Amino acid sequence: MRPFDSDADTSVHTKPRTRIQREKEGAILEAALDLFSENGFSGTTLDQIALAAGMSKPNVLYYFPSKEELYSELLNRRVANCFAPLESMNPNGDPIEELRGYIRRKMEISRAYPRESRLYASEMLRGAPMLCDSVRGLMRALIDAKAEIIQGWIDSGHLAPIDPKHLIIAIWATTRQYTNFTAEIRGIATGADSEVFEGGMQTIETLILDGLRPR
Amino acid sequence: MRPFDSDADTSVHTKPRTRIQREKEGAILEAALDLFSENGFSGTTLDQIALAAGMSKPNVLYYFPSKEELYSELLNRRVANCFAPLESMNPNGDPIEELRGYIRRKMEISRAYPRESRLYASEMLRGAPMLCDSVRGLMRALIDAKAEIIQGWIDSGHLAPIDPKHLIIAIWATTRQYTNFTAEIRGIATGADSEVFEGGMQTIETLILDGLRPR
Amino acid sequence: MRPFDSDADTSVHTKPRTRIQREKEGAILEAALDLFSENGFSGTTLDQIALAAGMSKPNVLYYFPSKEELYSELLNRRVANCFAPLESMNPNGDPIEELRGYIRRKMEISRAYPRESRLYASEMLRGAPMLCDSVRGLMRALIDAKAEIIQGWIDSGHLAPIDPKHLIIAIWATTRQYTNFTAEIRGIATGADSEVFEGGMQTIETLILDGLRPR
Amino acid sequence: MRPFDSDADTSVHTKPRTRIQREKEGAILEAALDLFSENGFSGTTLDQIALAAGMSKPNVLYYFPSKEELYSELLNRRVANCFAPLESMNPNGDPIEELRGYIRRKMEISRAYPRESRLYASEMLRGAPMLCDSVRGLMRALIDAKAEIIQGWIDSGHLAPIDPKHLIIAIWATTRQYTNFTAEIRGIATGADSEVFEGGMQTIETLILDGLRPR
DNA sequence: TATGAATGAGAATTCATTCAT
DNA sequence: GATGAATGAATTCTCATTCAT
């Protein structure tokens, strides 16, 4: 179910060899993710990270050369992984059902990884100054691929005509709302978080799927 | 077209009386809005604001007692004004056309005040630690009022059954995407910003309005 | 009864002519005395003084060229006046009764002008960096005169042999304790301030007068 | 003769373990004591302390979290130690001789630790805003204990009737005069400091002991 | 006279980073 | 590897004083 885990994640990395190293690095990344995603890059200090990771500040910098590198690592590796394994959309399946599945998986993944998701959103909101090109490329490629599939469905008359990329953007926007802007949601909707989440999912499906179903 | 301006804005304020005061205060708010909306609260320094406003740092603090107050002023006054004058929805009009008008006005207002809009989004993403209760109340009241109108349309069979609050959230989410997450949009869609914006608006209307139109 | 008042005080001054001026200057000195005596020179700001005096900071500096001058004025004029009119000791009176009278008047004057007294004590504790020579001279002359009288009483066998200057110092020390170090007194003795004050006076008289009475 | 030293002092402390730490902390406390006792809390800057201690300002703050903490540490630990080991008064000894011994020890201790003594006096003069409760309690307990002993002597007719607490206050007052108000003393008495000090001690003994000796 | 406006020189404190062990 | 120690460069904020009106 989990499309990736922290071990797989850091294994991409070149440095860490021993188990201890991997564990320490993991603890740092975990703490940093907590804090960066909550308070942003400037709002987080190495002291906080070191404290949360249960080690000394210099030790944090032993594993990651600088605060910026640590942030970048998180952003460009962990966040990238949010996309990569995510989207399996079957070009031969039923279009509406495939889209429904996509929306649901997107919501689920964001709910499962709220910190990664918020970190990414926060970076985007700032204008993405630290997002590396490879991740940008990855994203673009992913979108392009999906858009092509959707375009096929439109061309064959299974979906109402719409710009596929904008459709994907709309899906991202609405799912983001329920997973990253929870503070806003809580200010608007009443009820337990999970209920609101379900209500949101229902609404998104209604709008998008009914909006796309050809008349 | 502009539903408010900075003069009207600050006139609500108690303090500034002289012309000079209003001008200087305006310059500071302007600079602060630029910087806070771009780099967030912690990512912005008083030095930057003073430089951008063309005055000395203590002079900035002569007008606003602290960095936090300045931020708060911006967030809670300027941003609040984004909502208040915004939404006129006619309960007696044609539901679909009223919603279309609402979506368009929402998009326009966000495009006209991108910095206020981004500042607000950024605050929300952080969990809204500095958003004051009066603004929260304003928002909630606005949503409640709109939701009631929409519920009326649903009850009379003019719209497909949907949770009105979630509908509004969906509209906010999608408009936000095109006005605040431009960095992400640019990474996905090709073409001039304004074209992309138009495409987005078109897509949102299609999804939401067709999604709501009863079959 | 009052050995001096603020009018007499400031009249020594050269500048102020009009009534308003004298009043304003008085208000400033009053506020400054409150604050300096409570918080010391560095612990007091011109803002605080201006606020307490009910005027603007530049206006304070219109009357007194600098914070230091204001403090100095207070210290060297008001405090000096504490001494000058104070001590009438009759060389022909009964020695014990004259000393008793002196102790009582000293206590009373310190109690009547606690702020001046505390300001002076605080300056002394710091090493008296701003006490001007004329006040030093005044004090010395006063002590010398008293010491001579007392020496006469000792020489004529009316008092036990003792160094007259040290006697005066002892009187100052003990009276100061009850008027300036009230925080310490309150930490030690129980009962209402005035009772404690009376007890202190009684004790001082007992010690000094009995200690001096020849056996 | 020295009833305590700085090593014993800081060893009560929880934090410092290594030799370097103790040395540095000691250097800071030493410098701070010099400066705070001379210029008071507000009149002293961290820059001055850092300079005097031969280290950088942040390094000072590495050992003490804030200026206030540093001051408080000094006041409440070092000064408290001034009292604790001080007063051994034998209830079974000769009352006059015991009091004489007490006065002398009190004078000596204040002369040996003039900075601690002045710091304490300065804090008291300000109204003791930073004196912690435990020190207050210590003082009160000490006074109570001594007062009881003295009362016993009075009850058995060995001393003239007097309020024991006020007697102690008088002793504190006069000893303080010679150790903390040296600036005033120098303005009054002529001769070398040590001679003046001896003269003062002689006078205090004469007054208090003769004043108390029953006739 | 009086004051709003402005500021340079500090003040305390923070923080990413380096260094020595 | 790990950490205590140290610091330069900010960063927010204060304050006495000046200036213009």
* 3-class secondary-structure state, position B36: helix
Residue B122 touches chain A, beta carbons under 8 Å: yes
Confidence band, pLDDT 50/70/90 cuts, at residue B144: very high
> Longest C-alpha distance within chain D, in Å?
63
In A, minimum Cα distance to B128 occurs at A183
User: Tens of pLDDT along C137-187?
Assistant: 989 999 999 999 999 999 999 999 999 999 999 999 999 999 999 999 999
- C95 exposure class (CB count in 10 Å sphere: 0-12, 13-18, 19+): buried
Contact partners, residue A71, CB within 8 Å, separation at least 6: A32, A36, A41, A130
Phi, psi for B13 (deg, rounded to 5): -55, 150
- Two structure tokens written together for D194: 């040590």
Mean pLDDT by 10 residues, chain D (215 residues): 37 58 93 97 97 96 97 93 80 94 93 94 95 92 93 94 95 95 93 94 93 73
What is the mean predicted confidence (pLDDT) over B104-110?
92
User: Tens of pLDDT along C122-137?
Assistant: 999 999 999 999 999 9
Q: Are C148 and C91 in contact (CB under 8 A)?
A: no
State which residue has its Cα closest to the C1' atom of E15: A45
Amino acid at B136: R
Q: Do C215 and D212 touch (CB under 8 A)?
A: no
Domain topology for A6-80: Arc Repressor Mutant, subunit A (1.10.10)
Q: Are A166 and A159 in contact (CB under 8 A)?
A: no
User: Tens of pLDDT along A146-190?
Assistant: 999 999 999 999 999 999 999 999 999 999 999 999 999 999 998
3-class secondary structure per residue, chain A: CCCCCHHHHHHCCCCCCCHHHHHHHHHHHHHHHHHHHHHCCCCCCHHHHHHHHCCCHHHHHHHCCCHHHHHHHHHHHHHHHHHCCCCCCCCCCCHHHHHHHHHHHHHHHHHHCHHHHHHHHHHHHCCCCCCCHHHHHHHHHHHHHHHHHHHHHHHCCCCCCCCHHHHHHHHHHHHHHHHHCHHHHHHHCCCCHHHHHHHHHHHHHHHHHHHHCCC
What is the mean predicted confidence (pLDDT) over A4-18?
48
User: What are the sequence ranges of the domains in chain A?
Assistant: 6-80, 86-212
Confidence band, pLDDT 50/70/90 cuts, at residue A5: very low
Q: Can chain B be said to touch chain A, i.e. do they have 3 or more Cβ pairs within 8 angstroms?
A: yes
Please tell me what DSSP assigns to residue B88.
Answer: -
Nucleotides of F under 7 A from a protein CB: 1-20
The predicted pLDDT at position A213 comes to 78
B86-212 maps to which CATH number?
A: 1.10.357.10
Q: Do D163 and C121 touch (CB under 8 A)?
A: no
**Rg (Cα) of chain D, in Å, rounded?**
19
Nearest in space to D81 (alpha carbons), one of D109, D53, D49:
D109
Residue C188 touches chain D, beta carbons under 8 Å: yes
From CA C160, how far away is CA C162, in angstroms rounded?
A: 6
What is the mean predicted confidence (pLDDT) over B2-16?
41
Q: Do B180 and A125 touch (CB under 8 A)?
A: yes
Contact partners, residue B21, CB within 8 Å, separation at least 6: B15, B63
In A, minimum Cα distance to B43 occurs at A42
Torsion of CA B6, B12, B15, B21, to 10 degrees: 20
Count of all residues that appear for chain A in the document: 215
What is the mean predicted confidence (pLDDT) over C72-97?
88
* 3-class secondary-structure state, position C107: helix
- D109 exposure class (CB count in 10 Å sphere: 0-12, 13-18, 19+): buried
Query: With pLDDT > 70 as the criterion, what percentage of chain C qualifies?
Result: 91
CATH number, domain D6-76, options 3.40.710.10, 3.40.50.620, 1.10.10.60, 1.10.3720.10? 1.10.10.60
From CA C78, how far away is CA C70, in angstroms rounded?
A: 11
A6-80 and A86-212 have identical folds: no
Q: Do C215 and D211 touch (CB under 8 A)?
A: no
CB atoms within 10 A of CB A97: 11
What is the mean predicted confidence (pLDDT) over A59-80?
95
Residue C144 touches chain D, beta carbons under 8 Å: no
From CA D36, how far away is CA D49, in angstroms rounded?
A: 9
- Identify the residue among A207, A209, A212 best suited for mutation to test binding to B, counting B beta carbons within 10 A and taking the highest: A207
User: Tens of pLDDT along B16-57?
Assistant: 567 788 899 999 999 999 999 999 999 999 999 999 999 999
Give the distance, in angstroms, between the CA of residue A8 and the centroid of all CA atoms in the same chain.
Answer: 17
From CA C26, how far away is CA C28, in angstroms rounded?
A: 5
Q: Encode burial over B186-205: b for 16+ CB neighbours within 10 A, e otherwise.
A: ebbbeeeeeebbebbbebbb
- Two structure tokens written together for B150: 């929409």
> With a 7 Å cutoff on the CB, does B138 touch strand F?
no
CB atoms within 10 A of CB C24: 19
Residue D167: list chain C partners with CB under 8 A: 203, 207
- Two structure tokens written together for B23: 């001008």
> With a 7 Å cutoff on the CB, does B58 touch strand F?
yes
Q: Are C191 and D194 in contact (CB under 8 A)?
A: no
The predicted pLDDT at position D69 comes to 97
Nucleotides of E under 7 A from a protein CB: 1-20
Q: Do A183 and B211 touch (CB under 8 A)?
A: no
**Nucleotide minimizing C1' to CA distance for residue C50:** E3
From CA B183, how far away is CA A126, in angstroms rounded?
A: 8
Q: Do D183 and C128 touch (CB under 8 A)?
A: yes
CB atoms within 10 A of CB D89: 16
Q: Is the pLDDT of residue A7 over 50?
A: no
The predicted pLDDT at position A15 comes to 55
Contact partners, residue B15, CB within 8 Å, separation at least 6: B21, B25
Nearest in space to C40 (alpha carbons), one of D33, D124, D73:
D124
User: Tens of pLDDT along C29-39?
Assistant: 999 999 999 99
Q: Do D140 and C43 touch (CB under 8 A)?
A: no
CA–C1' distance A203–F14 (Å)? 54
From CA D203, how far away is CA C163, in angstroms rounded?
A: 7
Residue B215: list chain A partners with CB under 8 A: 210, 215
Residue A165: list chain B partners with CB under 8 A: 188-189
pTM of structure: 0.90
- Residues 17-56 of chain C with CB under 7 A from strand F are 44-47
What is the mean predicted confidence (pLDDT) over B98-115?
93
CA–C1' distance D203–E12 (Å)? 46
Hey, what CATH class is B6-78 in? mainly alpha
Give the distance, in angstroms, between the CA of residue A4 and the centroid of all CA atoms in the same chain.
Answer: 12
Q: Is the pLDDT of residue A65 over 80?
A: yes
Q: Do D125 and C118 touch (CB under 8 A)?
A: yes
From CA D59, how far away is CA D24, in angstroms rounded?
A: 9
Residue B176: list chain A partners with CB under 8 A: 173, 177
Which of 57-96 (C) contact D at CB < 8 A? Answer: none
